[in-house]
Homo-oligomer: A and B are copies of this chain.
């Protein structure tokens, strides 16, 4: 069944337009997957990231890019979706002490649930998400135990999972520092200038340079040279 005529296996990647998901998408492409990217318009403050996601999708060579619209504003409860200020100028200590206000309730559970549906319809058994230890900074749904629990759920929740037991979540950045992610992105040929990480950019897409995401990104680029 192998050989040059074999169809590539398909994978679905969550693509936000940020650094981490761009590198994850490129990593899946290098692994030989035909990659289907999924982004969300979820009432986030930083919707310019969707334009970045579209540019990144094209540059890394995904085969399809779907944007799903959902309304997390109907529930509120996060600085990324409600009228709460995004924290600025925090020290690394402040960023890692507890779950930050930029936490969006159950966001990665919702995103992965849609990715699972998309994967099943496209015949994909592999899902990619750009969570990592540094970007964790308190988000419970970026931890390895969350990812493992979702992978288990996925194999119980779907026809594809029940019939194959082979649905797999890929988190290639899980143990990497931001600097290592930047280096991996360069190695994979990702045009990192297309990505945007800021939680609170200006309407023209200019990053604020002061939120947690900007701080983590700047440190990563500095350390990677």
In the bound complex, do residue B113 and residue A158 qualify as a contact, i.e. CB atoms below 8 Å apart? no
Which of A21-29, A65-73, A128-136 contacts the other chain?
A65-73
Of residues 122 to 180 in A, which have CB atoms within 8 Å of B's CB atoms?
A: 122, 140-141, 143, 145-146, 149-150, 152-154, 156-162
- Asked if B140 contacts A161 (CB within 8 A), the reply is yes
Which residue of chain B lies nearest to A105 when distances are taken between CB atoms in the complex?
B120
Question: Is A95 part of the binding interface, using a Cβ–Cβ cutoff of 8 Å?
Answer: no
Instruction: Chain B residues near A30: list those with CB within 8 A.
Output: none
Residues of B within 8 A of A107 (CB): 117
Given the complex of chains A and B, what is the CA–CA distance between A59 and B148 in angstroms? 41
Query: Are A153 and B162 in contact, CB atoms less than 8 angstroms apart?
Result: no
Taking CB atoms and an 8 Å cut-off, the chain A residues in 176-195 that contact chain B are none
Which residue of chain B has its CB nearest to the CB of A98?
A: B159
By secondary structure, the A interface counts as: helix
Q: Are A145 and B156 in contact (CB under 8 A)?
A: yes
Please tell me how many copies of the chain the complex holds.
2
Residue pair B161, A109 in contact (C-beta under 8 Å): no
The answer to whether B77 touches A68 (Cβ under 8 A) is: no
CB pair B71–A69 under 8 Å, yes or no, is yes
Is A76 interfacial (CB-CB < 8 Å)?
yes
Which residues on B sit within 8 Å (CB–CB) of A118? 75
Q: List 26 A-B contacts (CB under 8 A).
A: A68-B70, A68-B74, A75-B117, A75-B122, A76-B121, A77-B121, A99-B162, A105-B116, A105-B117, A105-B160, A106-B117, A109-B113, A109-B116, A109-B117, A109-B154, A109-B157, A110-B113, A112-B113, A113-B113, A140-B158, A141-B156, A146-B153, A149-B149, A149-B152, A149-B157, A153-B153
